[in-house]
Structure 1
């Protein structure tokens, strides 16, 4: 909870968040003292605590900075082509992840030790499953068994989540294309 009474400096708060993101990703949450965050942000240490009473509050603020994962199916669906529609969805999700690769890496790293981060990542996973399901259903010209759609949605969401967790280290476009083709073929198989 932020205290009141002092004049807010949004640029200082932003510098603190940027510094925390960089240092947490580099050294980990536990190994990063607030004094290093203050030094990198070029603010007094007390100002870090003015905006974020506890270091955990910094992590919570970073979770809130993740880009929105909601994508309207109409923006990516190619009617009658499930594979093309899923490729477009994955491309859009990847573009949003690229806007926060360092933050995404940091949060995947801290998910095991911070329940709020784990909950945020689980919520994002559910959102991606919902997105994939909606795109499959909108792109398909035939009625598909719900269990098959659900399994495909969860499988592709797992692949996307894994891809985003290692985005700093690997380029997996070709692998993702194969996975999308496999899922689309399995969905449409009679």
Structure 2
């Protein structure tokens, strides 16, 4: 039986874990609740006791998407935007690795389920906010509009990288050089702006 922090998972947690795995592998629509119950080792009625409708299961999984605050002190190298952004990307990659299956599920179901789409938009917004905070901390004199545009580019690059990660088992190696070059280009562009010129 699955364990969490030294104890057995509750029936509800087993149902959610089974649903996460099955939805990610087979898709939401192709996964019957009877299969979720079977994998979770519970009666089908118990699935419906906790989750009246199958979409309620998906909504509960979206709510489990982990929040990962970024510690600016460990990421930012004052005066070096490129090093700071590389450290941020490494941290975001590590967080993504912690929830690869759930991320896969979100990308898979985003086109058909508004709650999932909203969760992905929120994730993008958090990534953009992290990038903006890192740029501003590394280069406080960076004009706000420049930091905003650069943060959006970083978030788009990271989002693309994570969205295709499920197709590449060796995705860090496959994408690392490309994203490093993009981060370097963004940092160089930021460094060309004269903070005295509005």
Same fold (TM over 0.5): yes
Computed over aligned residues only, the root mean square deviation of the Cα atoms, in angstroms, reads 1.4
Matched residue, 2:67: 68
Between the aligned partners of 2:72 and 2:20, the Cα distance in structure 1 is 31
* Structure 1 residue 145: Cα displacement: 2.1
**Which residue does 1:179 correspond to in 2?**
182
Map of 1:15-164 to 2, 5 A cutoff? 15-140=14-139, 143-164=141-162
Partners of 2:85 and 2:123 in 1: how far apart? 17
How many residues align? The count is 181
Q: 1:86, 1:136 within 8 Å by CA — same for their partners in 2?
A: yes
Runs of 4+ residues over 4 Å off in structure 1: none
Q: If the length of structure 1 is used for normalisation, what is the TM-score?
A: 0.91
Deviation at 1:113, TM superposition (A): 0.5
Following superposition, the deviation at residue 54 of structure 1 comes to 1.1
Match of 1:4 in 2: none
Shift, 1:10, TM fit: 5.2
- Greater RCO structure (CA 8 Å; 6+ sep): 1
Q: Post-superposition shift, 1:177?
A: 0.8
Corresponding residue for residue 4 of structure 2: none
Instruction: Name the counterpart of 2:3.
Output: none
TM-score (norm 2): 0.87
Gaps of 5+ in 2: 1-7, 194-198
Tell me, what secondary structure is at the counterpart of 2:165?
A: coil
Residue segments in structure 1 that go unaligned for 5+ positions in a row: 1-8
Q: In 2, are the aligned partners of 1:67 and 1:97 still within 8 Å (CA)? A: no
